[in-house]
Amino acid sequence: MDSGIGLLPTAAAIRRLRPDADLVLSWDPDGMPWGPRTAEDITQRAIAVAEAACAHEPDVLIVACNTASVHSLPALRARFEPDVPIIGTVPAIKPAAAGGGPVAIWATPATTGSAYQRGLIERFAEGVAVTEVACPGLADAVHHADEDAVDAAIASAAARTPDDVTTLVLGCTNYELVAERIRAAVQRPGRPPLMLHGSAGAVAAQGLRRIGVEPAPDAVADTTLTVLLSGREANLPDTALAYEEGRFLQVVSPVR
């Protein structure tokens, strides 16, 4: 589940780890974007999106959304666990800071400056120069596959990112869909290649571990992909198919 199509990288990562897994993708186009909303409003919408997914009786529910994880994990766990294990998405600050920095964290306005993110910085990035960069409009632009708006939002965030940054945390799962465009905008001439840290792969692996399932990338099965848009069953929208991850999921899974 996610507010939008930022769940595609995690879903694709799960499909690569377990090609035999049936997937339910639940997101909220009616409520996009979640980033500017209040924490209470985000939690209400997150619970609704999760309820739509849990009606399909999943083995595990991955909250593939940094904003929902920051604000709504306690409420989601109180509502659904222990019946359905809940896996949150944490910005990859720990592995990013391990390289020594300087580090920039790109995130939605709701995540940037939050007590949750500040706590992760204090816990895992002590002594490392960290700059939090709010990216208003970027998640929404990616969700709608609006190329011009994506370019404008990336350019704005890049202009507010210090020149000496060597490592960048993609603190919103939507951003992983345009990771190379972000790298191109932030990479400075004459400097070492910029390191990007997303969360999709690690979160997908954690989801499998939580239910005791080992990766089996060679497994073969007739799997399904169920898409829920604000609770309504649908096909993958054209905006999802604008990205490699969406096309991959459609090719390998009959959409129900």
253 falls in which pLDDT band (50, 70, 90)?
A: low
Same domain flag for 53 and 13 = yes
Look at residue 231 and give its three-state secondary structure: coil
203 falls in which pLDDT band (50, 70, 90)?
A: very high
Q: Is the pLDDT of residue 106 over 90?
A: yes
Same domain flag for 110 and 191 = yes
From CA 183, how far away is CA 158, in angstroms rounded? 9
Same domain flag for 116 and 190 = yes
210 falls in which pLDDT band (50, 70, 90)?
A: very high
Out of 165-169, 195-199, 222-226, least confident range: 222-226
115 falls in which pLDDT band (50, 70, 90)?
A: confident
Same domain flag for 207 and 82 = yes
The phi-psi region of residue 101 (left if phi > 0; otherwise alpha if psi is between -120 and 50; otherwise beta) is: left
CATH number (domain holding residue 232): 3.40.50.1860
Same domain flag for 188 and 103 = yes
Same domain flag for 85 and 212 = yes
pTM equals 0.91
Same domain flag for 26 and 152 = no
Residues 6 or more apart whose CB falls under 8 angstroms from that of 70 comprise: 110, 111, 114, 116, 117
Chain segment 223-243, per-residue pLDDT in tens:
899 999 999 999 999 999 999
Q: Which two tokens stand for residue 23?
A: 């997937």
Chain segment 2-53, per-residue pLDDT in tens:
999 999 999 999 999 999 999 999 999 999 888 778 889 999 999 999 999 9
Which sequence positions are flagged as catalytic?
65, 172
Same domain flag for 123 and 214 = no
The total domain count for the chain is: 2
* CA angle (95 as vertex; 145, 217 as ends), nearest 5: 65
Same domain flag for 70 and 190 = no
- Amino acid found at 229: L
Domain coverage including residue 134? 93-198
